[in-house]
Amino acid sequence: MSVNINEFFSAFANDQKFFLNLPVLWSVTIDGVTQGSINSVLSEAGEKWQAKTSAQSMTKGGNILVAQSVVLPTEGSTFDPYPSGSSMGGFLPGYGHANRQNFLNDRQVSVNFLETEVDIEHNFFRPWAIALGIKGLVEDGVSLKGTMEVRQYSNAGVFIKGYRFNKIFPTAVEGYTLDYADTDFKIKSVTFACENYQQI
């Protein structure tokens, strides 16, 4: 089927559904895990790190939690030849679904946060990751899992699309280099695991 180039460019130029919204940034909110729950774990373990702010306070009014990019989880499966271990008489075997790939490999969300004046990495994300290393995920009493929503808006402030990630926790807080490079924003990259996610 051929495409009428003039119709395509006409639609792209005049139809609002084709408009590109710039800058393409995502607002981020995190609920459920608190500054207090993180600090109680750190204090109990005698750890010097402390969360100096909460995710909720970082998103009130100023929307400090803004993402330059969000990498959604992969959905993956493995497949095995079927039947296995038997002669097919020269015919190629079929393939059967073996299993969905494991939780931490496929349920990861990577977020590149743009940092302004607040050191979001040292004030919140790194203490959260350290608290997880101390407490783990199976012990009762203190919840170190949260809910994260990322939303994209048009230049006019109209909501375009978004995603909600349930029972998230950070699995990696990437290091970064401090230098005198001519960059306007420092990017802090955090990788999360989640139980599931859905479109908003």
> What gap in Å lies between CA 120 and CA 53, rounded to an integer?
8
- Give the pLDDT score at 68: 83
Ranges under pLDDT 50 in the chain = none
Q: At what angle do helices 126-135 and 35-44 cross, to 10 degrees?
A: 50
Q: Is 53 helix (H, G, I), strand (E, B) or coil?
A: coil
pLDDT digits (tens, 9 = 90+) for 66-114: 888 888 877 777 777 776 655 556 666 677 777 776 655 667 889 998 8
Q: What are the backbone dihedrals phi and psi of residue 15, each rounded to the nearest 5 degrees, phi first?
A: -90, 125
Q: Of 164, 159, 124, 152, which Cα lies nearest the Cα of 33? A: 124
How many Å from the N-terminal Cα to the C-terminal Cα in the chain? Answer: 34
- Give the pLDDT score at 26: 85
Note the pTM of the prediction, 2 decimals. Answer: 0.75
- Give the pLDDT score at 58: 77
- Give the pLDDT score at 57: 79
